[in-house]
Amino acid sequence: MEVDKLRERIEREIDSIEGAADLERVRASILGRKGLFSSLFEKIKELPLEERKREGRELNRLKEYAEARLNELRARFEKRGEASRLDITLPGKRPLLGTTHPITAVLDEILEIFSSMGFTVVEGPDIESEYYNFEALNIPAFHPARDMQDTFYLEGGLLLRTHTSPMEVRVMEAQDPPVRIVSPGAVYRHDQDISHTPMFHQVEGLMVEEGVSFSDLKGVLTIFVEEMFGKKTPLRFRPSYFPFTEPSAELDIGCAICKGSGCRVCKGTGWIEILGCGMSHPQVLRNVHYDPERVSGFAFGLGVERIAMIRFGIDDIRHFYNNDLRFLSQF
């Protein structure tokens, strides 16, 4: 048996293969039960033992070579077949692109409005001491806001801040008047329903210098409402109570969801409270060694989620945190 000629014959047959049908035909003619190698193995049975062993080794090597070549072709044809099933004329799928979260977008807009009025943006820690979160803001130990049902307490007299108001104290401790700041950030309270979540975002504002009056407070917040919701937005100031301001008020605007007719968000009143405000309490000024006889100021705190709900007509605050792409993709 001339192995070289046999190898050339096999290579010619394999090289002539142009498709899957040819491949199966050649495979059967070379490796099949009645193929080339079957007949050759039958013939060498008649040879003497030593010669039979030598010829058998040569045939096995050649058979392995043929099998490898045919398997390689089969894999190539299968890959080509998969590619042929792709319709390159179909439109491509656009990758999902992230967008600014509606809370972040509204927060940025709020800060831009107050920055245009000369307020500086400052940030502080989420974990606060009881002194900065309560005592320095004229909230004594017996005040209901310090009850466990409202506050997430940690070890060592620390807590998750319930408002960004501690930055009032931190900034006034660090500098003399005039002070004009807004402090954004996450805050934490034991509260959850359609208009409250355990974590939400707040912007605290503070302005302290000589001659600041309640009229200045009303003017600044009126400009904010007009810039945020439009100049025709109805608004009102209602008397209220906060330990760190005196006098205190709450600012309401006409409900943008029901247009004043009454809904579950405005609790049927036609008005939505968007922030609390008031003149800085003299004791708070004394706590930071300011002279309340020489300087005065005002403070306000607003919930970013509340503003976003009104801005976008959303009636359930929990939509912001459910991570539903159908909701978030609208923004």
Q: What is the DSSP letter of 234?
A: -
* AA letter at 17: I
Is 11 or 210 the better-scoring residue by pLDDT? 210
Report the pLDDT value the prediction gives residue 253, as an integer from 0 to 100.
92
Q: What are phi and psi of 287, to 5 degrees?
A: -60, -25
Predicted confidence band at 236 (pLDDT cuts at 50, 70, 90)? very high
Looking at the structure, tell me whether residues 245 and 109 fall in a common domain.
yes
Please determine, for residue 195, whether its predicted confidence score (pLDDT) is greater than 60: no
Q: What is the DSSP letter of 290?
A: -
Q: Which residues of 277-304 are buried (b: 16+ CB within 10 A; e: fewer)?
A: bbbbbeebbebbebeeeebbbbbbbbbb
Contact 14, 25 (CB under 8 A): no
pLDDT at 87: 64
Give the pLDDT mean for 88-100: 80
DSSP symbol at 196: B
Q: How confident is the model at residue 142, as a pLDDT?
A: 81
Mean pLDDT of 195-202: 81
Same domain membership, residue 310 and residue 167: yes
91 part of a folded domain: no
How confident is the model at residue 76, as a pLDDT?
Answer: 81
**165 and 256 housed in the same domain:** yes
pLDDT mean over 1-11: 74
Asked if 133 and 15 sit in the same domain, the reply is: no
Query: Mean pLDDT over residues 141-155, rounded?
Result: 78
Q: Residue 137's pLDDT is what?
A: 94
Q: What is the pLDDT of residue 84?
A: 57
For residue 329, name the pLDDT band (cuts at 50, 70, 90): confident
Pairing of strands 179-188, 120-121: parallel
DSSP state of 109: H
Q: Are residues 68 and 175 in the same domain?
A: no
Whether the per-residue pLDDT at 193 is higher than 70: the answer is: no
Q: What is the DSSP letter of 126?
A: S
Residues 238, 252: contact at Cβ < 8 Å?
A: yes
CB 317 within 8 A of CB 195: yes
Confidence of residue 65 (pLDDT cuts 50, 70, 90): confident
Q: Identify the residue with better confidence: 276 or 70.
A: 276
> Please, what is the average pLDDT of the chain?
86
Same domain, 110 and 196: yes
- The pLDDT, as a whole number, for residue 251 is 96
What pLDDT does residue 33 have?
77
Residue 145 confidence (pLDDT) above 80: no
Name the band, by pLDDT with cuts 50, 70 and 90, for residue 47. confident
Residues 312 and 190 both lie in one domain: yes
Tell me: do 53 and 176 sit in the same domain.
no
Question: Are residues 139 and 35 located together in one domain of the fold?
Answer: no
pLDDT at 54: 80
Which of 104, 164, 103 lies closest to 317, judged by CA?
Answer: 103
Residue given tokens 């199966």 in the structure block: 24
Q: Examine the domain organization and report whether 48 and 196 are in the same domain.
A: no
Task: Count CB neighbours of 96 within 10 A.
Answer: 8
* ω into 247 cis (within 30 of 0): yes
**pLDDT higher at 111 or 255:** 111
Residue 58: Cβ-neighbour burial (10 angstroms; 0-12, 13-18, 19+): middle
Nearest alpha-carbon partner for 40 in 11, 61, 17 = 61
Which is more confident, 183 or 59? Answer: 183
Angle of the 3-15 helix axis to the 20-31 helix axis, nearest 10 = 160
| Residue carrying structure tokens 């034991």 | 190
CATH number for the domain including 186? 3.30.930.10
> Above 90 in pLDDT, residue 125?
yes
* 72-76, 88-92, 243-247, range with the lowest pLDDT: 88-92
Is residue 79 located within the same domain as residue 186?
no
From CA 8, how far away is CA 14, in angstroms rounded?
10
Distance CA 189, CA 306 (A): 15
Clarify whether residues 260 and 120 are in a common domain. yes
Domain that holds residue 30: 3-84
Least trusted range by pLDDT, from 60-74, 81-95, 276-290: 81-95
